[in-house]
């Protein structure tokens, strides 16, 4: 039996340390599969400061290989404010980024980390759902984790458009998944 709260607290602070010092985590290694930086370093630090309990990382031999950064949101749909704000009384977790180090991609780590993150969110009594925005080609990936398409996202970044997705987390506990993380 693993106490997820103690373990995730340790991981959150280790993520913060790795991201703040940037050794052993070169930020370029976490550029998204589309070639864009999913979250700038100052934004990662911002959310780790405001809501470290909504971040989770996967470490292999002391090295950060994947992480999720989230914050609370209090509206039905994402708006531009969701990119920078943390709403402490919100019941929705906005997943800003799921990043996997490029040398660890295509090994299922992103799926496993998302599954574990959603399980962790199910333990938080104030969280009702998780939302995210992604490019079209990532929709099937997130659907496999239980996310449903809500429609086009209001947020755009230059010419990039996104699909908004959500996953209910309240009352949806699942069996433990043997993942090795």
pLDDT tens series, the chain, 181 aa:
233 444 444 444 555 544 444 334 455 445 455 555 556 777 888 888 889 999 998 888 888 888 899 999 999 999 999 988 999 999 999 999 898 887 888 888 999 999 999 999 999 999 999 999 999 999 999 999 999 999 999 998 888 899 999 999 985 444 444 444 4
To the query of whether residue 126 is one of the catalytic residues in this protein, the response is no
Token pair, residue 5, equals 């709260």
DSSP at 137 = G
Nearest to 97 by CA among 45, 144, 46, 38: 38
What is the reported pLDDT for 135? 92
Helix (H, G, I), strand (E, B) or coil at 41: helix
Catalytic, out of 54, 71, 94, 120: 71
DSSP at 47 = H
CATH number of 4-168: 3.40.630.30
Long-range contacts of 75-80 (CB under 8 A, 24+ apart): 77/150, 77/153, 77/154, 77/164, 78/131, 78/133, 78/153, 78/154, 78/155, 78/164, 79/154, 79/155, 80/154, 80/155
Catalytic, out of 41, 50, 83, 85: 85
To the query of whether residue 96 is one of the catalytic residues in this protein, the response is yes
C-alpha 128/C-alpha 105 separation (Å) is: 30
Q: Residues 11, 56: contact at Cβ < 8 Å?
A: yes
Q: Residues 67, 18: contact at Cβ < 8 Å?
A: no
To the query of whether residue 55 is one of the catalytic residues in this protein, the response is no
To the query of whether residue 85 is one of the catalytic residues in this protein, the response is yes
Pairing of strands 63-73, 92-100: antiparallel
């Amino acid at each position: 039996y693993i106490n997820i709260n103690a373990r995730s607290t340790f991981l959150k602070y280790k993520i913060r340390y790795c991201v703040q010092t940037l050794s052993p985590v070169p930020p370029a290694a976490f550029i998204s599969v589309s070639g864009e930086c999913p979250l700038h370093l100052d934004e990662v630090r911002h959310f780790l400061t405001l809501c470290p309990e909504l971040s989770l990382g996967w470490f292999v031999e002391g090295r950060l290989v994947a992480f999720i950064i989230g914050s609370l949101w209090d509206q039905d749909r994402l708006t531009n404010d969701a990119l920078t704000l943390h709403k402490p009384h919100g019941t929705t977790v906005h997943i800003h980024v799921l990043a996997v180090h490029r040398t660890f991609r295509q090994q299922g780590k992103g799926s496993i980390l998302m599954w574990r993150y959603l399980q962790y969110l199910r333990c938080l009594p104030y969280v009702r759902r998780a939302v995210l925005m992604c490019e079209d080609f990532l929709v099937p990936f997130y659907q496999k984790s239980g996310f449903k398409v809500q429609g086009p996202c209001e947020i755009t970044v230059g010419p990039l458009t996104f699909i908004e997705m959500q996953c209910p987390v309240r009352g949806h506990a699942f069996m433990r998944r043997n993942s090795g993380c």
